[in-house]
Structures are given as C-alpha cells and as structure tokens.
C-alpha cells in the first residue's frame, strides 16, 4: 500500500507511511523465516503422486523420509501450497479433477460451465433449463428446455455441441446427480474431458455461469410468459442469439461474446507456429 501511494501520488515514504498509519520500521522489516523451499517441493511431489492422500498421510510419509517438521508448521505450509483435497467429491468418478487449484479458461473451448435454472409456464407447470457457457468467450453455447432434464439430456446436449464446435478440455459444474452420474462420467471419460466439480456451498467456483444465469433470469425468464415448452424454447433461443450477437460485455472490452470469440480465434491462428 505504501509503494502504491508513493507511485500514484508521487509522495515521499514518510508521508505515505503516515497516511496508512504504518510505522516506518514495519515498512523496512523483512521476514527472516526459512521459506522451506525443499519441503514445499517435496510436499507437492507427494501430493501429485498420491492424489487421494490427505495432509495426515502426506505428513506421515515425510516423517518416514526423515523430515523434522512439526505438524502445525507442516499444515500451515500445506494450506499455503493449496494442496487440500476437494470435500464431498463424487466417489468413483473417473473423470473428476482430484487435487488442483481452479484455473481460469485459457482460450475458446478450454472450459465450459454448466448449470440448471428453474422456471414455470403460464399455467404453473415447472420447467428446467440447462445453460452451457464458454467461460473464456462468455458465449452461451446452448440452453436446453424441458419439464425434467436428467443425465441423458446433458449427454445429448454435449453430443450436439460436439458436432457444432468440438469439445472442451474441462467442464465446470456442481455436484448434482445430472452431472455426477454414471452416464456423464462414462461419456466424459471416453472423450478425455476432465470434470471440475464445484465445492459445496461455493457458487464463486462457477462465478461466470452464476452471473450469466442472473442475466438470463432477469432479461428473459422474468420478462416473458411461456404458454408451452415449445413457446419457451422459441423465446429462450431468440434471447440466446441476441445475447451472443448484440449484447456487449464490459469484461470483454465492450465486445459481444461472438465478436470476442472471433477475435480470440484470429489472434490464436496468427500466433500459431507455421
């Protein structure tokens, strides 16, 4: 903060410290604590070799190897390295990510986010919509509408998108039975797609999809009456087309999702090796 004030306002160090109520001795202080570089490296090696070992077992392995480190100190370093396992991960799920920090999408078709949004028809009957969003370009790839959407409908949507634009490297979703069931797991495993499940009670793990769902509800679901499922499909598909083609995004430098996708692919082609 002191350096930020010095660079932004062109003030001296003494004045910047006074503004943030920081003693100058604290500004000059540099920690003499051992960074434990070798320990951190060995912890990462064991964690990636033993994907389902928690911190207790990894600590036991280190003690057997002769590392003299206390349990509290080890746990602090373990947390700093973000090696904790995902809780409530669907068991026996071959395609699920085991131990990894969520990485943002690196390009088009890198990560797709999926979620369900509920609504009702004019006569009160409940309907569900499955939204699929490219987390890099913010494009809405598909919105499936139906009374009861199950795992087979999710697989069907993914197969349709496979022929239209290929498949992603990773898929981000919650732990619902539609996403964590055997049908989805088998299809993802056969196509070598990783499934990155969100932590329970952590909607920020899928923040882009949650943000899209909020816009979808506010601008489409709450703005229309749906007389039937076919009427809902027609109006929702029209809104999806308008969203991709004409709705500018501040996070995309004012471009629409389709414009940003085209620009991203053209830059990728220009930078690709010949």
Could you tell me the residue range of the domain that residue 192 belongs to?
A: 111-271
pLDDT reported for residue 269: 40
Phi and psi torsions of 263, nearest 5°: -65, -40
Q: Are residues 232 and 185 in the same domain?
A: yes
Q: Are residues 60 and 139 in the same domain?
A: no
The whole model's pTM is what?
0.66
Q: Do the domain assignments include residue 8?
A: no
Q: Are residues 208 and 123 in the same domain?
A: yes
Question: Which residues are within 8 A (CB) of 242 and not within 5 positions of it... i.e. 6 or more apart?
Answer: none
Q: Are residues 140 and 250 in the same domain?
A: yes
Number of domains in the chain: 2
Q: Are residues 165 and 58 in the same domain?
A: no
Q: Are residues 174 and 225 in the same domain?
A: yes
Q: Kindly report the CATH number assigned to the domain that includes residue 258.
A: 3.30.420.10
d(CA 146, CA 127): 6
Nearest Cα residue to 165 out of 144, 145, 139, 200: 139
Q: Are residues 256 and 126 in the same domain?
A: yes
Q: Do the domain assignments include residue 31?
A: no
Q: Do the domain assignments include residue 141?
A: yes
Torsion of CA 193, 260, 248, 137, to 10 degrees: 10
Q: Do the domain assignments include residue 68?
A: yes
Q: Do the domain assignments include residue 28?
A: no
Q: Are residues 117 and 186 in the same domain?
A: yes
Q: Are residues 63 and 132 in the same domain?
A: no
Pairing of strands 170-173, 126-134: unpaired
Whether 90 contacts 180, CB under 8 Å: yes
* pLDDT tens-digit profile, the chain (274 residues): 778 888 887 888 888 888 888 888 887 777 676 678 888 888 888 887 776 677 788 888 888 888 888 888 888 888 888 787 665 555 455 555 555 566 778 888 899 999 999 999 999 999 999 999 999 999 999 999 999 888 899 999 999 999 888 889 888 888 888 887 778 888 888 888 888 887 777 777 788 999 999 999 999 999 899 999 999 999 999 999 999 998 888 888 888 999 999 998 887 643 433 3
pLDDT reported for residue 128: 93
């Amino acid at each position: 903060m002191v350096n930020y004030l010095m660079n932004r306002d062109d003030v001296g160090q003494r004045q910047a410290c006074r503004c943030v109520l920081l003693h100058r001795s604290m500004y000059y202080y540099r920690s003499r604590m051992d960074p434990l570089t070798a320990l951190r490296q060995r912890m990462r090696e064991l964690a990636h070799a033993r994907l389902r070992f928690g911190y207790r077992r990894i600590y036991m392995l280190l003690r057997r190897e002769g590392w003299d480190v206390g349990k509290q100190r080890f746990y602090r370093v373990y947390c700093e390295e973000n090696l904790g396992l995902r809780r409530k991960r669907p068991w026996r799920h071959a395609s699920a990510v085991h131990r990894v920090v969520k990485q943002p999408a690196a390009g088009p078709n890198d990560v797709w986010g999926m979620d369900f949004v509920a609504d009702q028809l004019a006569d009160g009957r409940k309907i569900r919509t499955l939204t699929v969003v490219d987390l890099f370009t913010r494009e809405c790839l598909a919105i499936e509408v139906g009374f009861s959407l199950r795992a087979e409908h999710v697989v069907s949507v993914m197969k349709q998108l496979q022929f239209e634009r290929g498949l992603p490297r990773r898929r981000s979703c919650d732990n619902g039975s539609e996403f964590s069931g055997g049908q989805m797991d088998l299809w993802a495993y056969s196509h070598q797609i990783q499934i990155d499940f969100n932590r329970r009670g952590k909607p920020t793990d899928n923040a882009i999809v949650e943000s899209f769902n909020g816009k979808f509800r506010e601008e489409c679901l709450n703005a229309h009456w749906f007389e039937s499922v076919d009427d809902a499909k027609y109006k929702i598909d029209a809104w999806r087309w308008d969203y991709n083609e004409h709705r500018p995004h501040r996070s995309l430098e004012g471009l629409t999702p389709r414009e940003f996708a085209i620009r991203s692919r053209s830059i990728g082609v220009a930078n690709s090796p010949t």
